[in-house]
């Protein structure tokens, strides 16, 4: 027997508004689940669902002493990351999705989805998950309701968002909310046994920006299934932001406090997926005199405040970070954050019931269960944890979480960083010449591809403007125009942009910069620039620090290796700008004129460097 409208009414909390009841009943009639539950976000619910998943084999409970209240899930090898080729922006006009998105006609896509979702929850429980992105009731926050047939999604959403009763209370007050429907796409026939990672080979991650709707089918993983994250907080929110004069960005947010005068600086930074945003957000400075506090590690929503400055909130309540490479030496604060109450996906399991991944501290164990669930030894010759394996952890558990991380009005942004993985060409740090140059820097970001998506070749260089390539819900060139508009609106109160690159290598392939905690040295220079305390020298890609102004105490960076960090090869840049021009051409006449002017100015600087 599938769920009827009466069942929906009986299961719903007393304050559920009629429009929500009607929508849930409609989705239930389409997807025909066997049961329905409204998520309340309580500990009791978490305990019940995690125990249920332990029973069904979806979760392995980790060693209670080493990792209390924490669980491991293993996905299928076909469902380990976002699927960009199956991600669609269904705007009425194709040009509103633009060349960087897969477009589909909304009417046609709705018809396809109707077919896919018909009966797709048979044999399963439908969970109705009310949630808030951003602090409950905050002026920058937004509400949503995800319907999902995955208890794994419910538990992850409890960590990643403010989920449950309080969110429904706000919806009941009449606040707008985004409907988001998710199914793993595997109906169960009577008596058919479930698998531990149900998912469908055919996946659809679809967005309807004009009506603020999200429909996701076939995947249980990360950004494909936790619809508050990339689907809502970036793709839908970026279109809302364009309409309403704010910004939804793929950026971490941190607070840097300078001990000498107590001055606080807030920095946001855009890097493509799996390029170390979590590490930078939780950085432990290697230079004295600074304290870092984390506000967010992945997404920033920014709005002009009453004083005309730009204010940022982290819309998420947890971190969904890449596990491999995370250790007490690379990111001790992340290690502390995940000590309890965490979900791990596709990492390896140790013989004493704890987690392990490549790059974690200590000796490599003699035996593990790998992410496929098979025995593993160091001789196996394969990775024990998937390169995109993840931890889901409550942000509140981070020892350096900022005291204002839930401030509803956000924190005032002082500087915006753009980065990527670049073995060559891009200097350690460069400041914008003028506002439009800042947008040009963001627009021309290119980065070596990581494992965060399944269907793009890792290692290759690809254009990833503003680190938003897979996340911009509308035409990317219009998005650049929106940035220029926001800059014009805020004038000199709009934060300056800096291009950074921690990943530069020498000709032998050795890292030229130690990275991690030593990136505090770059932040130190940036905030002294913001405070107007230090000069910069004009260079090809932007304004650079003077060697003598930059804190290199205790580092083995000579004037010679410093020069390598800032070395510019005019031929390589000329070739890259030819390529960038070709890239810009794919947007036709939508590319804002100031961006093309910046390209011309950049070429002049390259030419001058040749003489």
Chain positions contacting Mn ion, by CB under 5 A: 273, 298
Can you read off the two tokens belonging to residue 32? 């025909």
From 73, 251, 347, 452, residue interacting with ligand SAT (rule: CB under 6 A): 452
Distance CA 28, CA 275 (A): 40
DSSP secondary structure of 363-381: PPPS-EE-TTS-EE-GGG-
222 binds, among ligand SAT, Mn ion, none (CB under 5 to 8 A by kind): ligand SAT
303 binds, among Mn ion, ligand SAT, none (CB under 5 to 8 A by kind): none
Nearer to Mn ion, 216 or 273 (CB): 273
Nearest-Å Rg of the Cα atoms of the chain is 24
CA 222-228-230 angle, to 5 degrees, is 60
Distance CA 7, CA 404 (A): 42
Cβ-closest position to ligand SAT: 223
Distance CA 416, CA 10 (A): 49
Distance CA 393, CA 317 (A): 9
Nearer to ligand SAT, 117 or 320 (CB): 320
Burial of 163 per CB tally in 10 Å (0-12, 13-18, 19+): buried
Binding residues among 222-251 for ligand SAT as defined by CB under 6 A: 222-223, 229-230
Active site residue 472: no
Which of 436, 476, 466, 484 lies closest to 586, judged by CA? 476
Nearer to Mn ion, 250 or 496 (CB): 250
CB of 168 to ligand SAT, least distance (A): 24
What is residue 589's DSSP assignment? G
Can you read off the two tokens belonging to residue 384? 């024990």
Distance CA 24, CA 18 (A): 10
CB of 298 to Mn ion, least distance (A): 4
Catalytic, out of 120, 155, 231, 275: 275
CB of 35 to ligand SAT, least distance (A): 28
Nearer to ligand SAT, 106 or 222 (CB): 222
Nearer to Mn ion, 31 or 273 (CB): 273
Binding residues among 56-115 for ligand SAT as defined by CB under 6 A: 82
Which of 206, 33, 30, 214 lies closest to 117, judged by CA? 30
Check the CA dihedral 92-97-98-100 and report its sign.
Answer: negative
CB of 91 to ligand SAT, least distance (A): 21
- In 160-274, beta strands by DSSP E: 162-163, 177-183, 204-208, 213-217, 247-249, 251-258, 264-270
Kindly state whether residue 219 participates in binding ligand SAT, applying the rule CB under 6 A.
no
Interface map 301-320 toward ligand SAT (x if CB under 6 A): -------------------x
Nearer to Mn ion, 200 or 273 (CB): 273
Residues taking part in catalysis: 275
Q: Kindly list the residues in this chain that would bind ligand SAT in the complex (CB under 6 A).
A: 82, 222-223, 229-230, 273, 320, 452
């Amino acid at each position: 027997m599938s769920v009827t409208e009466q069942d929906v009414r009986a299961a719903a909390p007393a304050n559920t508004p009629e429009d929500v009841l009607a929508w849930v009943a409609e989705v239930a009639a389409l997807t025909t689940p066997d049961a329905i539950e409204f998520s309340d976000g309580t500990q009791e619910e978490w305990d019940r669902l995690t125990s249920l998943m332990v029973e069904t084999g979806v979760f392995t409970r980790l060693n209670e002493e080493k990792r209390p209240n924490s669980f491991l899930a293993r996905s299928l090898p076909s469902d380990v990351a976002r699927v960009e080729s199956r991600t669609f922006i269904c705007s009425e006009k194709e040009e509103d999705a633009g060349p960087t998105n897969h477009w589909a006609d909304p009417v046609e896509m709705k018809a396809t989805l109707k077919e896919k979702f018909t009966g797709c929850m048979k044999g399963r429980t439908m969970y109705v998950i009310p949630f808030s992105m951003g602090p409950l009731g905050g002026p920058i926050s937004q509400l949503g309701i995800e319907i999902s047939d995955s208890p794994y999604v419910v538990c992850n959403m409890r960590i990643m968002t403010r989920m449950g009763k309080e969110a429904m209370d706000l919806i009941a007050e009449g606040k707008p909310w985004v409907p988001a429907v998710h199914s793993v796409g595997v109906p169960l026939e009577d008596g058919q046994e479930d698998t531990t990672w149900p998912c469908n080979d055919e996946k659809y991650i679809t967005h309807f920006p004009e009506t603020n709707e999200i429909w996701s089918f076939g995947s249980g993983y990360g950004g494909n299934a936790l619809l508050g994250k990339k689907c809502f907080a970036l793709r839908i929110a970026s279109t809302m932001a364009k309409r309403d004069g704010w910004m939804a960005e793929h950026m971490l947010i941190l607070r840097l406090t300078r001990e000498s005068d107590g001055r606080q600086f807030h920095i946001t930074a855009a890097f493509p997926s799996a390029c170390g945003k979590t590490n930078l957000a939780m950085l432990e400075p290697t230079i004295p005199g600074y304290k870092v506090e984390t506000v967010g590690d992945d997404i920033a929503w920014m709005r002009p405040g009453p004083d005309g400055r730009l204010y940022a909130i982290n819309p998420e309540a947890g971190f969904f970070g890449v596990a491999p490479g995370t250790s007490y030496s690379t990111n001790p604060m992340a290690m502390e954050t995940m000590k309890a109450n965490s979900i791990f996906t596709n990492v390896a399991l140790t013989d004493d019931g704890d987690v392990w991944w490549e790059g974690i501290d200590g000796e490599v164990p003699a035996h593990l269960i790998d992410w496929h669930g098979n025995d593993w030894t160091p001789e196996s010759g394969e990775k024990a944890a998937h390169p995109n394996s993840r931890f889901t952890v409550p942000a509140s558990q981070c020892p350096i979480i900022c005291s204002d991380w839930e401030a509803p009005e956000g924190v005032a942004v002082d500087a915006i960083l753009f980065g990527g993985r670049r073995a060559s060409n891009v200097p350690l740090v460069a400041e914008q010449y003028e506002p439009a140059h800042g947008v040009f820097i963001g627009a021309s970001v290119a980065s070596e591809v990581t494992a965060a998506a399944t269907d793009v070749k890792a290692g290759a260089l690809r254009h990833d403007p503003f680190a938003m390539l897979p996340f911009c819900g509308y035409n990317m060139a219009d998005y650049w125009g929106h940035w220029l508009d926001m800059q014009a609106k805020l004038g000199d109160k709009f934060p300056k942009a800096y291009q950074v690159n921690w990943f530069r290598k020498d000709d032998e392939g050795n890292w030229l910069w130690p990275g991690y905690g030593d990136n505090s040295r770059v932040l130190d220079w940036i905030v002294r620039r913001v405070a107007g305390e230090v000069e910069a020298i004009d260079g090809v890609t932007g304004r650079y620090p003077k060697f003598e102004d930059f804190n290199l105490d205790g580092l083995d960076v000579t004037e010679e290796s410093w020069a390598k960090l800032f070395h510019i090869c005019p031929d390589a840049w000329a070739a890259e700008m030819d390529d960038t021009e070709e890239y810009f051409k794919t947007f036709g006449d939508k590319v804002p004129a100031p961006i093309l002017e910046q390209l011309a100015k950049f070429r002049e600087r390259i030419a001058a460097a040749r003489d």
